[in-house]
Amino acid sequence: MIRWIPYTFVRTVAFFIAGIVAASYFPDLISFRSGFVGLPVVVLAYFILARSGASVRRMLNPGWIALPLVAGLGYLHLIAKTESRYSTHLLHHRSTISHYQAVVVGYAEERRSSWRAEARVLKVYDTAWHLRDGRVLLYFSKDFFAGPFRYGDILLIAGTPNQPAPPANPGAFDYAQHLARRNIWHQHFLRGNVITVGKSPPSRIVAAAYSMRERAEGVFRLYVPGERAQAIARALVLGVTDGLDNELRDAYAGVGVMHILAVSGLHVGVIYFVLASVLRPLNRLPTGKWAVAFVSIAVLWLYAFVTGLSASVLRAVTMFSFLTLAKPWRRGTNVYNTLAVSAFVMLLVDPMFIFSVGFQLSYLAVLGIVYYYPRFIGLWEPEHRLAWECWKASTVSVAAQLTTTPLGLLHFQQIPVYFLPGNLVVVPCSSIVLIGGLTLLPVSAVPAIATFVGKALAWVIEWLNAIVFFIERLPGSIVEGVYISSLQCLLLYGVVIAASLLFQTRRFVWMIVLLALTSVFSFFQWVRFAGNASVARMVVYKVPGSRAIDFIDRGQAYFVTDSTVSEAEIDYHIQPHRVVRGVGRVHRGLPVARELKGCT
């Protein structure tokens, strides 16, 4: 039997998230002013009901007020954190801006032809200076700037920041919405006309963290030979993915281990378990468990500091900090409540995190491991130590994959077939690189030792890349072009939950729910395939400097274009729509395209 009473924080966070999501899709349902006025009334009603007699509480459960109240708080929290609603926001400035001042508030990321950094507008000039606010994403062309600007630089910029354009092609990634969910509503591509007029870091702590991260990057560039090895080392240890080429990214994604190239819960977990092993003797002391907890948390936050306090690392460190504190506490706590509290803290800091794919995947993966791992591990008990370790790693990988696959399908439209052998081999190797990279940072004070560690690290990375490329080139390594809608993603999660509850409770009702959800999912998939098969379409794509047309009919596309369209442009501008339309085969040229009739 499933009991909800022990999962107080899980319920609370679930309703808080529901309020945040509702505010995202229905932002004008409740005004902030009316919510602020009505909130005390609802709180008062809750306390009156909670202190009333038992007969009244049986008739009117206080939870009927408390949980909707939490959802309302989530709703108002997102409204309050949506900067575009402020009257001083740059969106509401109607006059033409000729110049503006902005302070750099992010770490500059290197791209192929530019540096990208987030900045916050301070004031704008039309015919006079006006105080304005708002975040803007700045792109500094390498043709005009020798290097990136740094955190805290105050810039005087000529020109007007622009709002990102909506998707130009059907099925394309909505970059404007992606930025809006980070509270960024403008961007500016700069080719000169920028001068530094001062320096005022918004946070001394963040400035120190960025400085430490920059020094750490310098250590890897100095002591790790080879550009690819340097790029992997910086990605695995610091979460810096600037130097990764597309071939590397595609290979790691195809094997299902792309998560190791972005510092996340996996990396923080490796550090945590190494610390737990090293500090295990302290557990014998009277207050040893608390000592282990505080030392572990201190080291984890030091690691977050070295990586520049990036959002993904903060999320993972916050999660493990709560899990670490829960161990010595042990007063009726359970891991689900602990995870819920860590998610609640992150959402209090920034409710926009709920729309981050990384945030969603991190918590879903941990939930999958927490729920499925104890159930899977007991299915087999191998006697050999190596077999036992492989079995543990396999169960962890499958558990995480079960809870992340529907979301991965929604966002990436692909399934890595060899994720299990990939994780069994690649994750241990990446853990060696992580620990080796963290070792390199302090020993860099002794160049001879640092040179040896750097070369050993490069050798391990070469083997890691070789393994990834080998698995990625195996036949059928990845199933691509699998499209599902947001509703179908929710239905898939319903299928996973219903199947899990069926095996846990052995109740027939969950079999009915499982069959119903599977049938509804299949129905929507059939409707989409039937619609794509019955209608022929001609689609004219917007590709900068080129012409591209698809004639789509019954799962086949007849592609007409000029020679200037690259494969990268096809993948970015055209392929997303083909996936939505279920295109499985592409032909090139007009002669085949003329055979189509009745295109719409």
Residues 483 and 489: their CA atoms lie apart, in Å, by 10
DSSP assigned state of 260: G
DSSP assigned state of 108: P
Residues 318 and 328: their CA atoms lie apart, in Å, by 17
Q: Which CATH number fits domain 90-202: 2.20.25, 3.30.70, 1.10.3470, 2.40.50?
A: 2.40.50
Strand-strand pairing, 184-190 and 135-141: parallel
Would you list the domain boundaries of the chain? 8-81, 90-202, 204-256+426-483, 486-533, 535-593
Q: What is the 3-state secondary structure (H, E, C) of 131-158?
A: ECECEEEEEEECCCCCCCCCCCEEEEEE
* 157 neighbors 190 (Cβ within 8 angstroms): yes
Q: Is the dihedral of CA 350, 438, 392, 331 positive or negative?
A: negative
**Axis-axis angle for helices 227-238, 204-223 (nearest 10):** 150
pTM recorded for the entire structure: 0.83
550 — phi, psi (to 5°)? -110, 135
Residues 270 and 427: their CA atoms lie apart, in Å, by 10
Beta-bridge mates of residue 121: 102
Tokens of 111: 């791209």
Distance of alpha carbon 59 from the chain centroid: 43
User: What is the residue-level pLDDT of the chain in tens, covering all 600 positions?
Assistant: 455 556 778 888 999 999 999 988 888 877 766 666 666 666 666 566 556 655 555 555 656 667 788 888 888 889 888 888 888 999 988 888 899 999 999 888 888 888 899 999 999 998 899 999 999 999 999 888 888 899 999 999 999 999 998 888 888 888 888 898 889 999 999 988 899 999 989 889 989 999 988 898 889 989 988 888 888 888 888 877 777 777 777 777 777 777 777 767 777 888 888 888 888 887 777 777 888 888 888 988 998 888 888 877 888 888 888 878 877 776 556 778 888 888 898 899 889 989 888 888 888 888 888 888 888 888 888 878 878 878 887 888 888 888 888 988 888 888 888 777 777 788 788 888 888 888 998 988 888 999 999 999 999 989 888 888 888 888 877 777 788 888 999 999 999 999 999 988 888 899 999 999 999 999 988 888 877 767 788 888 888 878 888 888 877 888 888 777 777 778 888 888 888 888 878 887 654 444 545 555
199 — phi, psi (to 5°)? -145, 125
